[in-house]
Every structure is written in C-alpha cells, then in structure tokens.
A = this chain, B = another copy of it.
Amino acid sequence: MALFNPKVFLTLTEGKLEGTEIKQSYKYLNALAGVFKNETARAEMDQDALIYEVQAYMPVEEGKSGGLFFGNSTIYPGKVDQEYFMTRGHFHSNFDTAEYYWGVKGEGYLILMDENRKIWAEKMTPGSVHYIPGKVAHRVANTGSEPLVFNACWPSDAGHDYESIAEHGFSARLLEVDGEPKLVEE
C-alpha cells in the first residue's frame, strides 16, 4: 500500500505555498480605483505598482460545502496619501462562514466590520492568530515598512462578496495620523 509525498508545501516562516496546484493572483494599483479615500492621489501614483498578491490552494470546487481552502497573502508597504496599502476587503457570500488569518511576516492590522457597521481592528504580527467570525467583513492593511505576509484557511463554500464593500465601503479607514495608525470614522 502506497506511501506518498505531499503535493503542497508551506514555508513556515515565509508563508509561501509551493506546488503545482497553487493559484496565484496579483492586485495592481490600477485595479483599486475608488478603494482609497483620496482617489486623486491614487490616480496620480504608478498604476503598475503591485499592492498585494494572493496564493490559494483550492483542492475542491469552490462552492462545495464541507471543504476548506488554504491561502497566503502578501501586502506590500506603502500609502495612498495617509492611508496604508490594504486589500479591498469582503464579506463572505455565504454570510455566516468564518475564516482564520495568521500573521507570518511584517506588521499591520486586520480591520473587521460587522453587519451593523461596527468596526475594530486587530494587530497582525508574526504568529498572531485571528478568528474572523461569520457575518464580519475583513480587510488587511500593511502599517510597516516590509511586506506583510499572512496565511489563511476558509470554508470552500464561503465565497467573496466584494460588491457590498465596493458600494458602501467600511465605516472607518486606517490612516496614519501623527505617525501612528488610527481608525478614522468615515
């Protein structure tokens, strides 16, 4: 009976996934129109700047219930005016599904907003573990000077609802105020 080698590897201190089944996507500044508070400043920056990238191991079909996906995200350091580089953020389409994020390198904040638009943030550092409950929108901002890297695990039927964030945004933004990150109400 067969002993197999694994098909996927994770570099534990880099967060990187390796294997032929890993999907990779890249988000450049030109794809983030309207996401940051100061759209004029964003439009004047280098549109080809890589803001974040995502790796995903999706061994079952998206939408299947009971399955799980595994991911790795890297957010590069930088700001649009006062606002830290960050992900677009999303609720899960399957509204009451959770997710784990855990920090691997760099520093930043996980910004969380519930369905009543109550908002808070948790500091991400190497080894920090974050449970994102169902019904809570989530986005990550890099507040450091190095890439912020984290891993993630989420249900294969969670889905991504980017539209409601694109329409209504988060109720606060993580801005640099007097040299420190601060959640500032919209």
A residues contacting B by CB (< 8 A) are 1-6, 8-13, 17, 19, 57, 59-60, 65-68, 70, 94, 96-100, 102, 104, 109, 119-131, 133-134, 153-156, 172, 181-185
Contacts and interface: CB of A to CB of B under 8 A. Distances in A.
A66 B155 contact: yes
A1 to B, nearest CB: 4
Given A96-B66, A134-B66, A2 B155 contact: no
A1 B119 contact: yes
A183 B97 CA distance: 37
A7 to B, nearest CB: 8
Given A13-B13, A131-B57, A120 B2 contact: yes
B134 A67 contact: yes
A60 B131 CA distance: 10
Contact of A70 (B60, B124, B129, B181): B129
Chain A binding surface, main DSSP class: strand
Given A68-B98, A70-B129, A121 B13 contact: no
Q: Considering the complex of A and B, which 5 residue pairs feature the smallest CB-CB distances, nearest first?
A: A1-B183, A6-B128, A8-B129, A153-B153, A66-B97
B13 A12 contact: yes
A10 B57 CA distance: 21
Contacts of A120: 1-4
B12 A127 contact: yes
A68 B5 contact: no
Contacts of A100: 68, 70, 153
Contact of A10 (B123, B127, B134): B127
